[in-house]
A and B are shown apart, each in its own frame.
Chain A
């Protein structure tokens, strides 16, 4: 096995000891910002849905502020967002480099994207259901949790899968400017040093991660769609 790698993937063979660490870094950059973005994205998506015109807690001011902030953040390309957020990262995380330095940018880059998707998923919930639950005396809190979110589990899962996959894309960009992980490896060795076998292997590893996530997502959707 090792001889095969040495012969066919010579550069990978050299950096093999770094590989587990890079995989771990990528997983960290998916998991930690992923979980945080999931919570905030659902939170802001729900706020958008309930405060919009005709929503159960209609509030023009809250809606338009949130709506504009999300648009603004989504308009900034991620590479630029990273450098813009350097001071925030320094203040919160104490660093702007490495995996720790990438978290803030990954979260801020993901939450608006995810919140918008949650908004459109929740908008799919038939307003008749909301009306029916109001007629049964449900409170806004109950309507959010027991109707909007409960009815949208397959849609939320789909949005989550898409978001995680786009987050993996962001980790590679973050890697390019010093965050580490598989993306960083692909750029440092594969691109900068023309070690094409490193590019192939890292892409292959990312592909495996994406397939697993997609598979889990599809399974949950299948189980929760009735």
Chain B
């Protein structure tokens, strides 16, 4: 649906050239929810603006739905933009218009009759669950409601693509969840391709099928979400994943010599990482039965991402030296990664 080929964007500023996006190539399939994550300044907002040419790339090609957007004239580009909805961090609703008028904004000149427009607004309001707010002004709405209006407005021309620029970053966690749920619904019900920019790994984890991680204008890692979570390649990605899990705290606790990680003789502190391939097996019971190794789970983090449970456990093994070694071997053969933290 969207093909970015060697897209670069350089801004000329007073203090020299800023390379916001450097040679990025991405392929986004129809019907996919594609996440782009990066810290602020990583170039993700610029990149998403290159998809509808709010920013014209300095070089490269932008192909949306088979059309090379850089070859279109202004008028053709405007027509294409109507099929690429966009929502923003700060909603960008017009204060002088009611909810219904905001949603009707992009429908002017669409050739629809007044009655058709009214019907369209009605169904969009129903979609975003704001039927009772049709005549309210944006200033009377909460942040989450404003973003719902923005989504309805972005959907007015039945777009094939929806670009979300930090759409949940200004919202509280609960509202974020409800907006993400709505985006998922829109994606599943209407098959809209969604490109979602965020700095929160939790958002990516909740809704995305694929993810690209950006740093300093480059995409450093990209792939299926489960793959990226279980076989993380790049340090930036690891940092992001750590933000969603409590497991990294073990290093802190060890440094502080916390009582929970003090070991008795014969005990070993280990971190176990497992994914879909082994989560369903009763490995901990197995090692306790076969090697007489007791497992004390200190803490852990287990997630279900795209119907795949993946997780980390921090555990203390106690048993004979031999038994523990065999247990570790057994886990490794079952593709659980074992890292001994302290002996």
**Chain A: residues with CB nearer than 8 A to chain B?**
126, 128-129, 131-139, 142, 146-147, 150-151, 153, 224, 226
Contacts and interface: CB of A to CB of B under 8 A. Distances in A.
Nearest to A126: B92
A224 B98 CA distance: 12
Given A131-B88, A226-B137, A226-B139, A136 B105 contact: yes
Interface of B: 52, 54, 74, 78-82, 84-86, 88, 90, 92, 94-97, 105-106, 108, 137-139, 150, 153-154, 157, 163
17 contacts: A128-B90, A131-B88, A132-B86, A132-B150, A134-B81, A135-B52, A135-B54, A135-B85, A136-B86, A136-B105, A137-B79, A137-B82, A146-B105, A146-B108, A150-B94, A226-B137, A226-B139
Contacts, number: 62
Given A136-B86, A136-B153, A146-B105, 10 more contacts: A129-B92, A131-B54, A132-B88, A135-B54, A135-B84, A135-B86, A139-B74, A150-B96, A151-B96, A226-B137
A212 B21 CA distance: 56
Given A128-B88, A132-B88, A135-B84, A226 B79 contact: no
A153 B96 CA distance: 8
A135 B81 contact: yes
Given A128-B88, A131-B54, A135-B54, A147 B82 contact: no
Given A134-B54, A226-B137, A129 B81 contact: no
A136 B96 contact: no
Determine chain B's interface SS by DSSP, over half rule. Answer: mixed
Q: Which of A126, A137, A147 has most B Cβ within 10 Å?
A: A137
Contacts of B54: 131, 134-135
B78 A138 contact: yes
B94 A129 contact: yes
Contacts of B81: 134-137
Nearest to B138: A226
Contacts of B92: 126, 128-129, 131-132
Contacts of A135: 52, 54, 81, 84-86, 154, 163
B47 to A, nearest CB: 15
B97 to A, nearest CB: 8
Given A131-B88, A132-B86, A226 B78 contact: no
Contacts of A150: 94, 96-97
A104 B233 CA distance: 73
Nearest to A139: B78
Given A133-B105, A135-B86, A151 B95 contact: yes
Contacts of A146: 105, 108
A221 to B, nearest CB: 12
Contacts of B85: 135-136
Contacts of B94: 129, 147, 150-151
A226 B95 contact: yes
Nearest to B102: A132
B86 A226 contact: no
B12 to A, nearest CB: 12
A137 B106 contact: yes
B112 to A, nearest CB: 15
Contact of B96 (A132, A138, A139, A226): A226
A197 B153 CA distance: 62
